[in-house]
Amino acid sequence: MSLPRVVAVAPDSPADRAGLAVGDELTSVNGVVPRDVLAYRWLVDEAEVVLDVDRGGMALTIEIGKAAGEPLGAEVHSAVFDQVVTCDNHCEFCFIYQLPSGLRKSLYLKDDDYRLSFLYGNFTTLTRFTEADLERVLTEGLSPLHVSIHATDPEVRSALLRNRRGGPSLRWLRALLDHGVEVHGQVVVCPGRNDGRVLDDTLAGVLDRFPELASLCVVPLGVSRFNPEPAMRPHTPEEAAAVVDAVHDWQEVYRAVLGRRLVHAADEYYLLAGRPFPPAEAYEGFPMHEDGVGMARTFELELTGAVGTATGAAPGFFAWVDGAPAEGYRAPRTAAPSGPSAAPEARVHLRPSSAAPVGILTGTYGAAVLGPLIAGLGRDDVRIIPVENRFFGGNTAVAGLLVGEDLARVLAGEPEGHRYLLPDVCLGRGRFLDGSTPADLPRPVEIIPTDGHALRAALLVEGR
């Protein structure tokens, strides 16, 4: 078990005024050693907070007085101090098994931790969930949670997870719903495994056993060129169309019985099937935007100015959990990397003339979405530059998995002096998944948030 280490202190916060410093390790908070940032948050919520601190080997006690509920103003290094609950499933479709070697260590961690499900929207299968976990979820109000369902038939689910606890563990989903916990579900569809009649059975099982689910997304299997499972393959267009049809059919059943659609297909399915995206109102508030459901439609609304604010989770979404570090989808995108290999951040912000032609870099799925939208703007000075993902290969086509190696290959063939816009979703703290940075690219790029409002602002520059 590690100790929470302070990585940031907000200026003029209670922690700052009391003398807490970056690098301090908290050996106890109010006499308790917190096991995770959730316990830490409860402890520092008090009006009187006593911190036992290890500062470079020197033991200190820092007493802090503040208003009850007032943020302490200190961010710690991790969400979990004891140990992340790792996944003991062996799913054929797990993308972590399909990663090449040599990437940063954190990418290979398979977690199945309900705490990270609450904090960051990670999906848990509940196969390692316990009575004690349920008690804590209910006691501390850890809602919403996100659960990977995949199939409601116990035998099919156990086979998909390659874990005999796969089927029985759905009893925890029932228990969570019985106690009013908000749960969002996910079904990853694998051709020949849980599509067709199995998918229909799963959607019927949800209606029968878990109708209180807040939402359910159906997403396609992702396959990289490093896939070790020969039975796992991408969907054909016909299979994608069948999934879309099944989802639409069940939406009507759910609406008739529950008064809401409940289930939604990921945008990828509509692209694969060559079908138009549903209208915005069909997504019922976009509850699973972050999981690729309704992203294309919200991007269109944002780009055209039809909605006033960006949709989806932003970095720091759970900032109310005092001290929780931003990780995963909610981590800062463009923070400069640290260390001896860190590249100058200034290179990222170099811009050609605002009147220069614009190239929008994106994945092949993004190009399919953006192409018609940009054409509708009537701007002959703006073009889409699709980037084929050769690094991961397979059916990897989303912008979030673009790496520097592929971007560099494409940009090397593009003219100098143009503006090149790059969505920040492919970056984590200033680095691509292959470890390179925007400064390593052969052309300067402008990093913009991955939403239609940001693209609209970038294109409405002076002189346009």
430: number of Cβ within 10 Å: 21
The yes-or-no verdict on residue 429 having pLDDT over 90 is no
Q: For the segment 226-242, what is each residue's pLDDT rounded down to a tens digit?
A: 999 999 999 999 999 99
Residue of 397, 88, 394 lying closest to 232 (CA atoms): 394
Residue with tokens 């009649």: 197
Assigned token pair, 451: 């939403």
Domains, the chain, ranges and CATH? 6-76 (2.30.42.10), 95-304 (3.20.20), 332-459 (no CATH)
pLDDT band at 351 (very low <50, low <70, confident <90, very high): low
Interatomic CA distance for residues 288 and 401, integer angstroms: 19
Interatomic CA distance for residues 191 and 235, integer angstroms: 6
What is the model's pLDDT at position 331? 59
SS3 of 186-224 = EEEECCCCCCHHHHHHHHHHHHHHCCCCCEEEEEECCCC
Average pLDDT over residues 154-164: 97
Q: For the segment 163-215, what is each residue's pLDDT rounded down to a tens digit?
A: 999 999 999 999 999 999 999 999 999 999 999 999 999 999 999 999 999 99
What is the model's pLDDT at position 104? 82
What is the model's pLDDT at position 307? 83
The C-alpha R_g of the chain, in whole angstroms, comes to 23
Residues 6+ apart with CB under 8 A from 144: 118, 181, 182, 183, 184, 214
**Averaged confidence pLDDT in the chain:** 90
Q: Please list, residue by residue across 240-265, b when 16 or more beta carbons sit within 10 angstroms of its beta carbon and e when fewer do.
A: bbbbbebbbebbeebeeeeeebbbbb
